[in-house]
Structure 1
Amino acid sequence: MKKSFKIFFSMVLVVILIIPIAACSKEEVQKVRIGEVTRSIFYAPEYVAIEKGFFEEEGLDIELTTTSGGDKTMTALLSNSIDVALVGSETSIYVYAQEANDPVINFAQLTQTDGTFLVSREKIDDFSWDMLKESTFLGQRKGGMPQMVGEYVLKQHDIDPHNDLNLIQNIDFANISSAFASGTGDFVQLFEPTASVFEQEGRGHIVASFGTESGMVPYTTFMSKESYMTENKETVEKFARAIYKAQKWVAENSAKDIAEAISPYFEDTDLSLIETVVDRYKSQGSYATNPVLDEEEWENLQNIMDEAGELPKRVDHSVLVNTEIAEEVMK
């Protein structure tokens, strides 16, 4: 009887000791809800950070949602449906221009070039940009980074996008590829892996990269409301550190290894195609090698917006960009 009591008492004691430890562990794990503007191989470091456990190492539990479009992503952030948005930096300027009481702050850059490609319906062996003149060009949504960079590049090649060609930009982001597949347009501006899928299926042919033509720009950045960053400073720092770990991993590993790591996010895409796309983005320097969004890139962004007639007001780098967090995690 005494022996049974001792065993029972020992079991109770173990449970009493385990519960507080489990509770502490649970409290240390911070859930962070990310809303990504689209699902794309362009965002490979984000998926690497999740799959390689870099977020988990920092005590973060990530809930990832694809919010399909910059306007929807920013609405989700401002309404507290998500904590962190992965979207073009131009959206933070739009919010600031509306005199928001709680501005959106860019704190970790993920991509540093445009991620779209020019796809032709017909195969072109010797492409030149002037071939777009008098053609029908299926561009991206007005006011978004893809459209602004697209117009910027066209102008760099002496093409007036509103007079030298038939520019279509009233189709919803999610339906652009379907519109081209159904016969709309001679040329289209597409993200990967859609551009390569179209090429593989013979529906189109990649003839140029907007990323190599436009230069360095904070194309996609992790951002959050200023209030969230103030209240969750340590969480944001852990988040940025996990992203930096992923960026280094992507820089140090092959396109094949990266493709294998992110393949769960592209189940309907062949692994070889994912590898091709990753290699293309790596070759043109699209993946940022660290999370710092520097002033030169910020100014290039605003110049592109200004050229497109979409810059509501010029905003100093220090107002909407926090580099202290990124610089701290890089030490």
Structure 2
Amino acid sequence: MKKWSRIAFTLLAAASLTIGLTACSSGKDELEKVRVAEVTRSIFYAPQYVAIEKGFFKEEGLDIELTTTWGGDKTMTSLLSGGADIALVGSETSIYVHAQGSDDPVINFAQLTQTDGTFLVSREKVENFDWEQLKGSTFLGQRKGGMPQMVGEFVLKQHGIDPHNDLNLIQNIDFANIANAFASGTGDYVQLFEPTASIFEKEGKGHIIASFGTESGHVPYTTFMAKDSYMKEESETIEKFTRALYKAQKWVDESSPGEIAEVLEPYFEDTESDIIETVVDRYKSQGSFATDPILDTEEWNNLQDIMDEAGELPERIDHGTLVNTSVAEKVSK
């Protein structure tokens, strides 16, 4: 009896050990899901897709559930309501939320793009372009209050053009229909994102003659942000996420446009590979992709200057109030 008791005990102990080891092994291999809401699907966000496709997030133990929310307001609603853990959207949205008196402010913790991503496209080919040539023209702009429009107006004013008096400025067309409106004959000039600008140029529908990103300088155009409560409760996750992003930023900085385009192709199945490569090359050459996740004070102040010039800045916010660079600085060392 005692012999069988000992055998039974030994088997039970072995079984318990096996179960324990299996559980530990399973726990080790299990990835933590992080829900990310991106404001739109864009080649402009290349390092994010690289971080997913190259396995940099998985190396950090993270499983990214990426959702495209199509619009800054929808993206912030998703974040604030708990539908997303992290949002990729323009930094200006965190200022708008703060101005409404949120009890749980949205904190910018990692920068993805550091310039505007739009281009000035003309209907006719222009030799020796000068911004003065825009005066008196019909200009298809972007949505009022959004970063593209604010940067557009900022650049125009820098070149001595009053967008509301020197131009026939059209702003009442939905973002999704701006390109179609221009293609159908509306406007002499249009402010377009890629890859539409390059596609239009390839098809002879327009000509890229200037870059708003080059003209406006460095600005935290698109950043990863999270609610302050999530930043504190999931600090380890935020660090892993930022470290994976930094790996991708370095990879993009060191790789050729062709190599990057190949990685991006699954995310842009309706865009020809040569167009993807052209767009990546254009963004790389003008320094649009941030090479590290740190959103510095100068960029933050430039953002607010642009918003203020457009009459859209609710109040001036100190860099340290809505920006946390501690994690980005740590992983970038």
What TM-score, normalized to structure 2?
Answer: 0.93
SS at match of 2:240: helix
In the TM superposition, what are the counterparts of 1:186-201 in structure 2 within 5 Å? Answer: 186-201=188-203
Q: Give the C-alpha shift of residue 193 in structure 1.
A: 0.7
Query: For 2:210 and 2:118, how far apart are their aligned partners in 1?
Result: 9
Structure 1's 15 and 200: CA in aligned 2 closer, same or farther, altered over 3 A?
Answer: farther
Say whether 1:24 aligns with 2:27.
yes
Partner of 1:236: 238
Q: Give the C-alpha shift of residue 14 in structure 1.
A: 9.4
* Segments of 4+ moved more than 6 angstroms: 9-15
User: Structure 2 regions of 5+ residues with no counterpart?
Assistant: 1-10
Partner of 1:206: 208
State the aligned residue count.
324
Q: Give the C-alpha shift of residue 186 in structure 1.
A: 1.3
Structure 1's 185 and 25: CA in aligned 2 closer, same or farther, altered over 3 A?
Answer: same
Query: For 1:102 and 1:66, how far apart are their aligned partners in 2?
Result: 23
Q: Give the C-alpha shift of residue 183 in structure 1.
A: 2.1
Query: For 1:312 and 1:53, how far apart are their aligned partners in 2?
Result: 40
Query: For 2:82 and 2:16, how far apart are their aligned partners in 1?
Result: 42
Q: Is the CA contact (8 Å cut-off) linking 1:68 and 1:173 kept in structure 2?
A: no
Partner of 2:265: 263
Q: Is the CA contact (8 Å cut-off) linking 1:68 and 1:174 kept in structure 2?
A: no
Q: Which moved more, 1:218-227 or 1:128-137?
A: 128-137
Query: For 2:173 and 2:26, how far apart are their aligned partners in 1?
Result: 50
Q: Is the CA contact (8 Å cut-off) linking 1:196 and 1:273 kept in structure 2?
A: yes
Partner of 2:5: none
In the TM superposition, what are the counterparts of 1:3-152 in structure 2 within 5 Å? Answer: 16=19, 19-25=22-28, 28-152=30-154
Q: Give the C-alpha shift of residue 178 in structure 1.
A: 2.0
Query: For 1:85 and 1:121, how far apart are their aligned partners in 2?
Result: 35
Q: Give the C-alpha shift of residue 86 in structure 1.
A: 0.8
Q: Give the C-alpha shift of residue 180 in structure 1.
A: 1.8
Q: Give the C-alpha shift of residue 79 in structure 1.
A: 1.1
Query: For 2:175 and 2:85, how far apart are their aligned partners in 1?
Result: 23
Q: Is the CA contact (8 Å cut-off) linking 1:121 and 1:204 kept in structure 2?
A: yes
Query: For 1:77 and 1:136, how far apart are their aligned partners in 2?
Result: 37
Q: Is the CA contact (8 Å cut-off) linking 1:69 and 1:173 kept in structure 2?
A: no
In the TM superposition, what are the counterparts of 1:143-222 in structure 2 within 5 Å? Answer: 143-222=145-224
Q: Give the C-alpha shift of residue 170 in structure 1.
A: 2.1
Query: For 1:32 and 1:254, how far apart are their aligned partners in 2?
Result: 29
Q: Give the C-alpha shift of residue 12 in structure 1.
A: 7.0
Q: Which moved more, 1:73-82 or 1:49-58?
A: 73-82
Query: For 1:184 and 1:83, how far apart are their aligned partners in 2?
Result: 40
Query: For 2:128 and 2:71, how far apart are their aligned partners in 1?
Result: 34
Q: Give the C-alpha shift of residue 18 in structure 1.
A: 6.0
**In structure 2, what residue type is equivalent to 1:21?**
C
Partner of 1:3: none
Query: For 2:289 and 2:105, how far apart are their aligned partners in 1?
Result: 26
Report the RMSD for the aligned CA atoms in angstroms.
1.9
Bigger radius of gyration, 1 or 2? 2
**CA deviations over 1:107-165 (Å, ceiling 9, x no partner):** 00001111100111112122111121111111111111100000000001100000101
Query: For 2:194 and 2:17, how far apart are their aligned partners in 1?
Result: 53
**CA deviations over 1:162-214 (Å, ceiling 9, x no partner):** 01011111222222222222222211111111110111111111110000000
Percent of aligned pairs with the same amino acid: 74
Query: For 1:76 and 1:176, how far apart are their aligned partners in 2?
Result: 25
Q: Which moved more, 1:271-280 or 1:320-329?
A: 271-280
What TM-score, normalized to structure 1?
Answer: 0.94
**CA deviations over 1:62-107 (Å, ceiling 9, x no partner):** 0111111111111111111111111110000000011111110000
